[in-house]
């Protein structure tokens, strides 16, 4: 049985990787944080058996029992398909979904992860599943794997739990960490899809499997040291470790000429104590730690700060008309 509701609203922060890119897929530690740019999703039940989705990426309409593919909405539809049987057995009337984003999907702020979390959270509530963050993470990660084959879930965890987190895939660990000093994010103007970057690194690693395994181990050691620096609030040390990790990313082959230019311009800024790729690399974003006084940066600056809040869900009860916020 579904909840008697008129509207579910879910707000999910975007996320950025601080450290642990690539190595996290091999069981090593990662650090990521939620940021104060959000995706908002509204879900309303309807009685005509249709699923209607309205977003900046696509407008979609199909019967719940015969969903058509739409690549622009692949994560949303995969989340719906994951619950399709339960929805048909308990709520055959269908629903409308409206999605609004405070940031572009072309910028590396974890938009796919955030919209996946939002959709899964709304459907879980619709089907009366409990507001368990660990289960939400499991279901959202299953959706990501269905769409793109693999993924660590680091960005999902940051969006779900909020703040700055340390994360390990297996055994699963999510640890809240104290906040960061000011951070700056700059966009290269283009990005390479994460699965394509991972495929390139995998191809390059085949002739030097043991060497790449050592690289990932060094990444883990660097990330673990960075986690200690964060707990000690030692930002100079964290900046040094960010620079070290960037060198390891370069060794993986995911730092191109534009990214290198961005990083070294930032390092010339007097208040920047460290800078590196944020994400899988070959485009997208570079993160800098410090007050980011970099007047000669000919790249798009993305104003972000750490968001202490993770996923938030509010519902309107059709009986009482009251707004409630599940824990």
For the stretch 1-25, pLDDT in tens is 444 557 999 999 999 999 999 999 9
Q: Looking at residue 89, what is its pLDDT?
A: 87
pLDDT in tens, 108-166: 799 999 999 999 999 999 998 877 999 999 999 999 999 988 899 999 999 999 999 99
What distance separates the 2 farthest-apart alpha carbons in the chain?
A: 64
Same domain, 161 and 224: no
Reported as a pLDDT band with limits 50, 70 and 90, residue 326 is very low
Is 161:133 a contact under the CB 8 Å cutoff?
Answer: yes
How many structural domains is the chain composed of?
A: 2
Q: Looking at residue 265, what is its pLDDT?
A: 93
- Tell me, rounded to whole angstroms, the distance of Cα 228 from its chain centroid: 23
Q: Looking at residue 317, what is its pLDDT?
A: 64
Same domain, 118 and 219: no
Same domain, 192 and 111: no
| pTM beyond 0.85 | yes
Provide the domain limits for residue 104: 5-178+307-324
Same domain, 173 and 296: no
- Tell me, rounded to whole angstroms, the distance of Cα 291 from its chain centroid: 24
Mean pLDDT of 70-74: 96
Same domain, 269 and 189: yes
Same domain, 28 and 173: yes
Q: Looking at residue 92, what is its pLDDT?
A: 65
Same domain, 291 and 196: yes
CA angle, 21 as apex, 80 and 184 as ends, to 5°?
95
Same domain, 48 and 157: yes
């Amino acid at each position: 049985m579904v909840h008697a509701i008129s509207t579910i609203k879910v707000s999910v922060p975007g996320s950025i990787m601080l450290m642990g890119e690539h190595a996290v897929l091999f069981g090593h530690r990662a650090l990521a944080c939620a940021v104060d740019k959000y995706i908002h999703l509204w879900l309303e039940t309807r009685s005509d058996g249709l699923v209607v989705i309205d977003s900046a990426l696509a407008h979609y309409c199909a019967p719940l029992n015969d969903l058509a593919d739409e690549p622009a909405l692949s994560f949303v539809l995969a989340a719906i398909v994951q619950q399709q049987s339960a929805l048909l057995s308990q709520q055959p009337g269908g629903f409308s979904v409206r999605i609004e984003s405070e940031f572009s999907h072309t910028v590396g702020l974890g938009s796919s992860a955030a919209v996946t979390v939002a959709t899964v959270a709304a459907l879980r509530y619709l089907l009366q599943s409990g507001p368990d963050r660990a289960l939400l993470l499991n279901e959202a990660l299953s959706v990501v794997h269905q769409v793109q084959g693999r993924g660590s879930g680091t960005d999902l965890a940051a969006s779900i739990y909020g703040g700055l987190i340390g994360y390990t895939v297996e055994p699963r660990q999510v640890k809240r960490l104290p906040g960061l000093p000011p951070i700056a994010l700059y966009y290269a103007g283009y990005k390479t899809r994460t699965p394509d970057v991972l495929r390139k690194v995998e191809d390059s690693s085949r002739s030097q499997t043991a060497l790449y395994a050592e690289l990932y181990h060094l990444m883990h050691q660097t990330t673990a040291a960075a986690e200690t620096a964060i707990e000690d609030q030692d930002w100079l040390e964290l900046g040094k470790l960010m620079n070290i990790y960037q060198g390891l990313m370069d060794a993986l082959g995911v730092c191109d000429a534009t990214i290198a230019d961005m990083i070294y311009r930032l390092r010339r800024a007097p208040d920047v104590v460290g800078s590196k790729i944020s994400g899988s690399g070959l485009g997208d974003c570079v993160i800098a730690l410090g007050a980011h006084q970099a007047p000669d940066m000919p790249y798009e600056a993305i104003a972000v700060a750490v968001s202490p809040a993770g996923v938030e869900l509010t519902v309107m009860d059709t009986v009482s008309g009251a707004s409630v916020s599940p824990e």
